[in-house]
Chains A and B, each alone.
Chain A
Amino acid sequence: MTAALRIAFPALVLAALTVGTASAHHSFTATYFEDRTIEIEGKLLQFLFRNPHSFVHVEAPDENGELRRWAVEWGGAGQLSGQGVTSQTLRPGDVVTITGNPGRNASDYRIRMLYLRRNSDGFDWGRRPGETFD
C-alpha cells in the first residue's frame, strides 16, 4: 500500500499539471479492481472510438466458457489519437487478446484496458512509454 502511494502520487501530480483538462468523467479506481488483472481473447465486435472514453466490445468466453460481450474501456479519442490510434486501427472481426483490470460489478463484463494485441499482425498497445490513458 505504502509503496504504491509513493509511486503513484508524484506521477499523478505531474500528469495533472501537464494535461490541463484531465478527464473528470469517473474514477477508474472506483470502477475497476486495479489490483487485479484479467485476460480475454476473442473477436472484436465494435470499436467505439469516442470521447470521453473509447470502448472496445469483444466477444469472448467468461471463466465458465460462456460467450460474453465484454466492454473494454480505453482512452478518449483525443488522447488515443496522440498515441497513434485512430478510428480505423481496429476493425470488427479482428481477433484480439486484451489484458486489463476487471470491473467491480462482475455482471457488467467490463475491463479497463491495460494491454491489447491483435493476433493477426501483432499490433499492440500498452507496453510502450506513454501508452496509458486517464
Chain B
Amino acid sequence: MIPIRPTARFPSAHAATPDDRFALPDAEPCRTRASRTRASAAAAALAIAALSLVPAVGDAQRAPAPPSARASAPIDLTGYWVSVVTEDWRHRMATPRKGDYESVPLSAEGRRVADQWDLERDNAAGLECKAFGVGGIMRQPGRLHIAWENDDTLRIDFDAGSQTRLLHFDPVANPPPDERTWQGYSVAEWERPPAPSNAPVRAPIGNSTGPVAAGGGGRGLRGGPPPPSTISDGGALKVVTTGFREGYLRKNGVPYSADATITEYFHRLPEHPNGDVWLLVVTIVEDPLYLTEPFYTSTHFKREPNGDKWNPTPCRTAPPPS
C-alpha cells in the first residue's frame, strides 16, 4: 500500500456547503443524516487521499515514507491547558436564560429551536452531553489535555464533561465510525509557512544594530525581553469535523445541527515575555440549518505545568437564573 498522508489542504471553509466540499462527483444522494455523515466523511478521506496521490504517483515506488504527523509537527500542542474566560463570560461561566442567544447569527429555525430549550427535558432524555459536543466543548470552561494517541492521531481530553476527541492525520487508516458521536469525526492536518529559501538578506535599516529576526526585526519591548522566536515557527493545526450529533453551541440550548461542519485552527502562540504560553483555537461553525452565516469564535487556553488541577466532571449544565 502506498503511504498516504493528507498533505493537500481542504478547500476553503467558507466555500460552498459542507457536503459540496467533500462529495465526490458521482456520490449518491444521501437519504438519512446518519448515512450522509458516513458518506461525507468517507468522501472526505477519499478526496484527501486522491489529492495527495496526484503529485506523488510518479515517485511512489522510490519515495521514502513521509514522517509521521507527530514527527513533522511544526508546533507542540501537547500538555495541559486551562481555558481563561475573558469573553462571553456570562454565557460560559454561568448558564444564561433561555432565549439569550446574543452574538450568535441564528437563523429563524435556530431561534425557534433555541426558544424550546428545556434543561430538565434534556437531562431526563439522557442528553446531558448536548452542550459538551464538539460544537460547544471548546467554550466550556475547563482544562484540555492534549497528547499523541499514536503517531498519526492527536487526542484531546476535556475534563469538562469528561469528553475525548481524536484528531486523525491519517483518515484512511482511521476511517469514520458508523455512528454519530458527540465529538464527531475529525480530520487533521498541519499548516506551516513555506520553508526558508535563500532570499537576499535584508539591508540594515534605521538604527537596528542587532541580529535580524526572521522576516524583519521588532526588538525593543519596554520592561522585558521580546518574545523568543524559537518556541514556535508559527505553524497551525487545521481540523475539520463532521459526523457529530446535534448539540449546543451554548449551554442554554443555542443549537448546531448534525449537518454542520466545524473547522478549527489550533495555534500555539509565541511565548509571552512573562513566560505564559497560550493556545488559541479558532472555530468556524457552518450550519445551513441553524445559522445564517459562519459562526466565528476564538478561544484561548493557558498552558499549565502539569495536570494537578485536572478535574474530570460529568456532563452537567447548571440551571439558568430563576
Contact = CB atoms under 8 A, between A and B. Distances in A.
Contacts of B100: 2, 5, 9
Interface stretch (B39-47, B101-109, B217-225, B233-241): B101-109
A6 B105 contact: no
11 contacts: A2-B98, A2-B99, A5-B97, A5-B100, A6-B111, A6-B115, A9-B100, A9-B101, A10-B111, A13-B103, A13-B105
Contacts of A5: 97, 99-100, 102
Question: Interface range on chain B: under 10, 10 to 19, 20 to 34, or 35 or more?
Answer: 10 to 19
Nearest to A13: B105
A10 B292 CA distance: 11
Interface of A: 1-2, 5-6, 9-10, 13
A9 B106 CA distance: 10
Contacts of B111: 6, 10
Nearest to B102: A9
A2 B102 contact: no
A13 B107 CA distance: 12
**Candidate in B97, B99, B111 with the most chain A CB atoms within 10 angstroms:** B99
A2 B252 CA distance: 13
Nearest to A8: B102
A29 to B, nearest CB: 13
Contacts of A1: 97
Interface in B98-128: 98-103, 105-106, 111, 115
A5 B101 CA distance: 8
A2 B115 CA distance: 10
A47 B101 CA distance: 39
Interface string B71-110: 0000000000000000000000000011111110110000
A9 B102 CA distance: 6
A9 B99 CA distance: 10
A10 B97 contact: no
A10 B106 contact: yes
Closest 5 CB pairs of A and B: A2-B99, A9-B102, A6-B99, A5-B100, A5-B99
Nearest to B115: A6
A1 B97 CA distance: 10
Nearest to B98: A2
Contacts of B99: 2, 5-6
Nearest to B101: A9
A1 B100 CA distance: 10
B97 A2 contact: yes
